[in-house]
Amino acid sequence: MLDLTAMRSIRSADADTGVVHADAGATVEDAWRAMLPRGWWLPVAPGTMRPTLGGAVAMNVHGKNHFAAGGFGEHVLALEVATTDGRVVEVAPGHPDFRAFTGGMGLLGLVTGVRLKMKRVHSGRLAVEGVECPSLGGMIADMERRAPDADYLVGWVDAFHPAGRGILHAARNLGPGEDPDAAGSFGNGVQELPPRIAGVVPRALASAALGPFASPAGMRWMNRVRYGISWLRGAHAFRDAHVRFTFLLDFVPGWERLYDPGGFIQHQVFVPKARAAELLLSNLARCRAAGIVPWLGVLKKHRDCPSLLAHALDGYSLALDFPVTAANREGLWRLCAEMDEAVADAGGRCYFAKDLTARPEFVARCYPGIPAFREAKRRWDSAGVLTSDLAVRLRIV
Ligand SMILES: Cc1cc2nc3c(=O)[nH]c(=O)nc-3n(C[C@H](O)[C@H](O)[C@H](O)COP(=O)(O)OP(=O)(O)OC[C@H]3O[C@@H](n4cnc5c(N)ncnc54)[C@H](O)[C@@H]3O)c2cc1C
């Protein structure tokens, strides 16, 4: 196990060009803290700011803007890589193996430095629109309609509901002059949630307050209430800070304790656009039939990705958070295998960053780049120094 978190310095951050050059152990948070006050935001950000830049490259992470901006690797200008034979080399987008390094899960070499092009923003706020969608198919149709004008699209899905109803949030960057308080919008006061919700409840207690609902019945009710509130409100527009919009979960300390004592797994699949609504809905029906319903569902829109081990494709992903218990574990793994089968039949994929349940036969079917990746592995690490439990379980190298 190699821990790079001590290699965390931002080597340089250029406010004119928006290029950040950092140690691979610097985090997504380090990058926005260095650049947002100067008008630059992450081109691609996962749902938490804790990952390192090396980890973001290694899984080629996606954000709520994948359909428009692609994966993290598409904004990398150069990687500094320590090889298993003791060299330090630069791997840039023109390099024949750049596509293998982005999303290569650290199996080819150790990324020690990242040069990343940030995105210019004219305000620290986004214009957001929230709208309830009575069905998953309706949400997908709405995302298709909004995609040309939106920078970010994300849908919360109520997996307990037969139609997969939910709430869609579409956001766009503000143009020059659109935010009268642009200069003040980049600071922490605007970006971060206050320590108390509504000035009263300490944020640290928010997850404890959800504790009584931590059961299938409680979550069914919570999902219903959440949708109901949105339905009563109707479509609504508001402005939200980049950090809050992107990393909301980071502001609820201990949210994962909700799944104690067994924890949870996230099962995220990517399905081609033409089959997305039908297939994702039928997978949700499988969950309900198995009596194992995810407590949270998140829908995102994606585009094709140039990486050799690309998880994203032109279509949609649905990430489902399942509680794991001693009683449901076996059935849950079986359920995930059934969903994976349907996904592979439709030409879809899973996502290694989230995977705990996939089988090698499924992965071989849905990752056509694996043979070429193995050749890259032979070029960079013929002795097989770098490996992982996941790579072994899924027979990737
Ligand atoms: C709450 C939460 C929300 C998330 N949301 C999203 C999301 O919206 N979109 C998304 O795409 N992902 C998301 N993720 C997944 C996360 O972004 C990835 O798993 C990311 O790779 C984690 O980075 P890390 O630095 O913690 O790496 P680790 O978890 O430590 O490692 C992940 C992989 O990267 C490799 N690696 C790490 N650093 C290096 C390096 N320096 N050189 C070479 N290889 C390296 C490791 O070997 C390993 O294979 C989320 C995760 C959580 C917990």
Ligand 1 centroid to residue 4 C-alpha, Å: 13
Ligand 1 centroid to residue 54 C-alpha, Å: 8
10-120 CATH: 3.30.465.10
Among 59, 255, 256, 269, residue to substitute to test ligand 1 (most atoms within 8 Å of Cβ): 59
The reported pLDDT for the residue numbered 198 is 65
The reported pLDDT for the residue numbered 100 is 98
Ligand 1 centroid to residue 236 C-alpha, Å: 33
Measured CA to CA, the distance from residue 141 to residue 303 in angstroms comes to: 16
Provide the terminal-to-terminal Cα distance of the chain, rounded to the nearest Å.
18
Ligand 1 centroid to residue 56 C-alpha, Å: 5
Residue-level pLDDT, tens digit, the chain, 397 residues: 899 999 999 999 999 999 999 999 999 999 999 999 999 999 999 999 999 999 999 999 999 999 999 999 999 999 999 999 999 999 999 999 999 999 999 999 999 999 999 999 999 999 999 999 999 999 999 999 999 999 999 999 999 999 999 999 999 999 999 999 999 999 988 998 878 776 777 877 877 888 899 999 999 999 999 999 999 999 999 999 999 999 988 988 888 999 999 999 999 999 999 999 999 999 999 999 999 999 999 999 999 999 999 999 999 999 999 999 999 999 999 999 999 999 999 999 999 999 999 999 999 999 999 999 999 999 999 999 999 999 999 999 9
Name the pTM for this structure: 0.97
264-366 CATH: 3.30.70.2520
Ligand 1 centroid to residue 275 C-alpha, Å: 28
Ligand 1 centroid to residue 348 C-alpha, Å: 21
The distance of Cα 76 from the centroid of its chain, to the nearest Å, equals 17
CB 87 within 8 Å of CB 117: no
Give yes or no on whether 10-120 and 264-366 have one common fold.
no
Ligand 1 centroid to residue 46 C-alpha, Å: 9
- Buried b / exposed e over 310-346, threshold 16 CB at 10 Å, is bbbbebbbbbbbbbbeeebeeebeebbeebbebbbeb
**DSSP3 helix / strand / coil % (the chain, rounded to 5):** 40, 25, 40
Ligand 1 centroid to residue 268 C-alpha, Å: 14
CB 110 within 8 Å of CB 215: no
Which residue has a Cα nearest atom 7 of ligand 1? Answer: 46
The reported pLDDT for the residue numbered 162 is 97
Ligand 1 centroid to residue 227 C-alpha, Å: 31
Which residue has a Cα nearest atom 52 of ligand 1? Answer: 48
Nearest-atom index, ligand 1, CA of 109:
43
Which residue has a Cα nearest atom 29 of ligand 1? Answer: 55
Beta bridge partners of 268: 319
Residues having CB closer than 6 A to ligand 1 are: 4, 24, 46-48, 51-52, 54-56, 58-59, 61-62, 105-106, 110-111, 249, 353, 388
Strands 349-350 and 264-272: what pairing?
Answer: antiparallel
Measured CA to CA, the distance from residue 105 to residue 2 in angstroms comes to: 13
Ligand 1 centroid to residue 263 C-alpha, Å: 18
Among 5, 7, 52, residue to substitute to test ligand 1 (most atoms within 8 Å of Cβ): 52
Among 48, 296, 303, residue to substitute to test ligand 1 (most atoms within 8 Å of Cβ): 48
Q: Where are the domains of the chain?
A: 10-120, 125-259, 264-366
Among 5, 61, 252, 317, residue to substitute to test ligand 1 (most atoms within 8 Å of Cβ): 61
Which residue has a Cα nearest atom 27 of ligand 1? Answer: 55
Which residue has a Cα nearest atom 51 of ligand 1? Answer: 48
Q: What are phi and psi of 269, to 5 degrees?
A: -120, 155
